[in-house]
Amino acid sequence: METYYVNGFFKRRNSAKISVEDRGFNFSDGVYELISYLDEKLIFFEKHYSRLSKSLLSLKISSPLSNKKILKLIIKRLIKLNKIKSGYIYIQITRGTAKRNHVYSQQIPPNLVIFCLPLRKIEKFKRGVKVRTSEDLRWGRCDVKSISLLPNILEKQIAFNQGYYETWQTKDNYITEGTTSNAFIVDRNGSIRTYPKSKHILGGVTRDVIIQIAKKKSIKIIEKAFTLNDVKYCKEAFLTSTTVKILPVIKVNDMKINTMKIGEITKILTYNINKKING
């Protein structure tokens, strides 16, 4: 049976509980982080911890842990208890438990839940995935990794129902990002294009690592929004996330990318991020 960490205690799944007055449950008043790990080694932990801290600061939620060393110890203990050598760590922090009221007290202690998830099987996606596009209906602070994910969930489900892997969202005709991933293209000049870091996208950890790799390989990176017309004439496309790292995109709506073959730049980036992760 799975073991969860809840507010200072390691508990079996059936006894791992949070009050129905938790503000995360009532208002989506909280943040989360997902960290992958391989053979019990946390991947890009420092970057994930930094993003978690920024999300908490943005929502003015106090951290339930005094430092990252304590968090790492808890995670390592969870991995051992669950006997899942490779997988994902899910961390959720809400503002806390209180009577339902939009106005909250600054004195509420936050609620913290951490648990393990097994690795997703993504082998079939490595040959390339298809994505659709839809209007971006999310709130105005997408840079905060909030647990309020309803627009993402609805669009991801539509994609699944229609036989697509993902939905890329558009704002003012520009593609911002996917419901669970960041979006990239390689333009006609061989430059990588992706939406710039701003309040309109979540600054993905894997996104940032891919950009670093590209720069080291002297591949030009342009953090500039692109349109569906840019997609129509691009050489390659791919997406990134913590769960899948990098996947080639071979079709967007009805547009075939690179005759539905994996591009050379995508192959280079895939090889190098796997090398970085595996040490």
Please write the tens of the pLDDT for every residue from 117-126.
999 999 999 9
| pLDDT beyond 80 at 194 | yes
Q: Is 145 a catalytic residue?
A: yes
**Mean pLDDT taken over the chain:** 97
Which pair of tokens denotes residue 125? 């996606």
Q: What is the pLDDT of residues 6-46, one digit of tens each?
A: 999 999 999 999 999 999 999 999 999 999 999 999 999 99
Strand runs labelled E in the chain:
3-6, 9-12, 30-38, 41-42, 87-94, 111-118, 129-135, 166-171, 174-178, 182-186, 192-194, 221-223, 226-227, 236-241, 245-252, 255-256
The percent of residues in the chain predicted with pLDDT above 90, rounded, is: 98
Q: pLDDT grade, residue 1 (50/70/90)?
A: low
pLDDT of residue 279: 76
Q: What is the DSSP letter of 14?
A: G
Q: What is the pLDDT of residues 195-218, one digit of tens each?
A: 999 999 999 999 999 999 999 999
Question: Could you tell me the pTM of the whole model?
Answer: 0.95
One of 60, 83, 145, 216 is an active-site residue; which one? Answer: 145
Q: Phi and psi (nearest 5°) for 73?
A: -65, -45
Q: Phi and psi (nearest 5°) for 265?
A: -65, -40
Q: What is the DSSP letter of 110?
A: P
Which pair of tokens denotes residue 225? 């929004």
